[in-house]
């Protein structure tokens, strides 16, 4: 039997390889589900050079806008049926209905920033009388604000991590140098004391 020439170490992929290969797909899927955590990590990865910042922002914009458009379409066609079938969903939808009546435009733009309403929000808006064209325009505006803001925050966070890492490396170098100096001084002091004792 022929032996496999590749070892487990060779078959494993490094973290940069994994991020580079699967990062963009994860960004798009995460933005479809309004996953800020994925975008923050992608922004940090872009700062480290593993991903392109512009591509990450573009994918986040496309995924975020598309995800809300899908939920809006589901709400327009199946929203009433879903609320009747799932009472818990209906309870969560009630506050959104009031927001749609009072702050329609602001809600469409900012719903992706509202924790707990990011999925139910577009669904309920689809059940309202908001025209599909207006929702599309405001949805694109909201995604255009959301994508660079979240990814940019992750990019800044990556910068902070890099500065912190540099600070730790400097501290470790200083600490190591101090330890070496202390050992040398201690050894020299012991040698001097030993010489004095032998002379006396």
The percent of residues above 70 in pLDDT, for the chain, comes to 68
| CA 19 to chain CA centroid, nearest Å | 13
Q: Mean per-residue pLDDT for 92-112?
A: 83
Look at residue 167 in the predicted model and tell me its pLDDT: 47
Residues counted in the chain: 200
Buried b (16+ CB within 10 A) or exposed e, 149-172: ebbbebbeebeeeeeeeeeeeeee
Residue 166 to residues 59, 78, 88, 152, Cα–Cα distance (Å): 31, 53, 49, 21
Q: Which of 131, 63, 72 is nearest to 96 (CA)?
A: 72
The helix/strand/coil state of 52 is: coil
pLDDT (0 to 100) of residue 2: 41
Using CA atoms, how far apart are residues 64 and 36, in angstroms rounded to an integer? 10
Q: Does 142 or 169 have the greater pLDDT score?
A: 142
Assign 18 a pLDDT band (cuts: 50, 70, 90).
low
Report the distance separating Cα 200 and Cα 192, nearest Å.
12
* DSSP class per residue in 32-64: HTT-HHHHHHHHHHHHTTSS-HHHHHHHHHHHH
Token pair 């290969």 is found at 21
Residue 4, pLDDT > 70, answer no
pLDDT of residue 102: 83
End-to-end alpha-carbon separation of the chain, Å? Answer: 77
- What the block records as the tokens of 162 is 């890099």
pLDDT winner (highest mean) among 35-39, 63-67, 180-184: 63-67
Q: What are the structure tokens assigned to 67, written together? A: 């995800």
Q: Is 55 exposed, middle or buried (0-12, 13-18, 19+ CB in 10 A)?
A: middle
pLDDT above 90: residue 19: no
Q: State whether the Cα torsion 64-143-113-101 is positive or negative.
A: negative
């Amino acid at each position: 039997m022929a032996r496999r020439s590749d070892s487990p170490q060779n078959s494993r992929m490094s973290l940069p390889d994994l991020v580079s290969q699967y990062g963009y797909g994860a960004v798009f899927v995460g933005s479809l589900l309004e996953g800020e955590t994925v975008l923050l990590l992608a922004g940090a990865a872009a700062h480290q050079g593993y991903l392109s910042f512009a591509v990450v922002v573009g994918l986040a914009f496309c995924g975020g806008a598309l995800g809300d458009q899908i939920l809006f379409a589901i709400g327009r066609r199946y929203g009433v049926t879903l609320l009747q079938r799932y009472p818990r969903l209906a309870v969560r939808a009630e506050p959104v209905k009031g927001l749609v009546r009072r702050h329609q435009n602001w809600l469409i733009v900012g719903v992706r920033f509202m924790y707990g309403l990011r999925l139910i929000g577009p669904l309920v808006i689809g059940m309202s009388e908001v025209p599909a064209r207006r929702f599309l325009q405001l949805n694109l505006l909201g995604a255009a604000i959301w994508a660079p803001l979240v990814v940019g925050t992750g990019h800044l966070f990556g910068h902070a991590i890099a500065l912190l890492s540099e600070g730790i490396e400097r501290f470790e170098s200083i600490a190591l140098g101090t330890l070496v100096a202390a050992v040398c001084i201690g050894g020299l002091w012991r040698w001097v004391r030993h010489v004095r004792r032998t002379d006396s």
